Amino acid sequence: MKAAFVLVAALLLGACQTDKLATKQADDPRPTSVNPIAKPKGPQIAKGAVLFINGIDGRNLRHHADEETPDILHWFAGGGFDVYRVDLAPKDQDPSDRVFAAMDRAIFDMRRQNYRRVYVVGQSAGGVAALVSTEKHRSVQSDGAIAIAVGGFSGNETAQINLQFHELIVREVTPATRVAVFHFRDDQILGRWHNEAVRISRSKLDGRRNAMVRVPPGVTGHYAMDTPAFVRTYGACLTQFLAADDPDGSICPP
């Protein structure tokens, strides 16, 4: 089962690496690291920990520590959470389960620090990792996830396999965990598979009080999470969704 999981993850996260690319990856010695976006309040004060995992660099050459912090994370910090970025090294962005292993280590560290709750928020491939963190049978599991712009590769024959993987993940979400899934119209990465991805998410999560599936109007494209309209519309309600003892997915606009 693990071998099959890793194989499908490989198809989802990228193409095979070349020797030249591996050399370029080795040129950046910085390891994957977990970094707070602001001074942590500490587990005794914070409402919980939020871990953010970015999408995968298409060629796996950049360290995520070099990228800007998405504005929506500041809503979570302002709402009482300690927010951390899981800044992936290029070597951990290859098509394997390394992304999930990095996520597991980060969740485990937050548990060790005794945070009340640990959530994973992810964009694109990071959204896949966020959903994976809620799976029923994982030994290291989050308390909930926000998965944004989960998708496949436009025009690639593996896109349908990505959708099958997406369906498998959503089906395995632990019922007690809170989950928000966002798909964007005109997603240039997901391409023509957009409607099917939305159908899968809704078929597995609609009807659950502690879950939501959204296709936001007025914001489009794979990177819509970084638009002011998305942050303005969903920043406050997602913060409340994570903070609530009894989460209600209807709190956010449809």
In a domain, 192, yes or no: yes
Q: How far apart are the first and last CA of the chain?
A: 36
pLDDT at 151: 62
Dihedral over alpha carbons 70, 183, 105, 172 (to 10 degrees): 160
Q: Residue 99 and residue 55: Cα distance in Å, rounded?
A: 10
pLDDT at 241: 98
Backbone angles phi, psi at 111, to 5 degrees: -65, -40
Beta sheet of 144-148, edge-to-edge order: 33-36, 82-87, 49-53, 118-123, 144-148, 178-182, 211-214
Helix (H) or strand (E) holding 162: helix 159-171
Q: Show the domain range for 226.
A: 2-15+30-246
Task: Please give the chain's pLDDT, 254 residues, in tens.
Answer: 443 444 344 434 443 343 444 445 557 788 999 999 999 999 999 999 999 998 877 666 678 888 889 999 999 999 999 999 999 888 888 656 888 999 999 999 999 999 999 999 999 889 999 999 999 999 999 999 999 998 654 445 556 677 888 898 999 999 999 999 999 999 887 778 889 999 999 999 999 999 999 999 989 999 999 999 999 999 999 999 999 999 999 999 99
Q: Which of 172, 175, 34, 2 is nearest to 112 (CA)?
A: 34
pLDDT at 29: 83
pTM score of the predicted model = 0.87
CATH number, position 155: 3.40.50.1820
In a domain, 251, yes or no: no
In a domain, 112, yes or no: yes
In a domain, 79, yes or no: yes
pLDDT at 10: 42
In a domain, 229, yes or no: yes
pLDDT at 149: 92
Q: Which of 148, 183, 146, 149 is nearest to 48 (CA)?
A: 146
What is the sign of the dihedral through the CA atoms of 57, 129, 98 and 172? Answer: negative
pLDDT at 92: 83
CA distances from 209 to 175, 194, 252 (A): 10, 24, 12
In a domain, 40, yes or no: yes
The tally of domains found in the chain comes to 1
In a domain, 58, yes or no: yes
In a domain, 22, yes or no: no
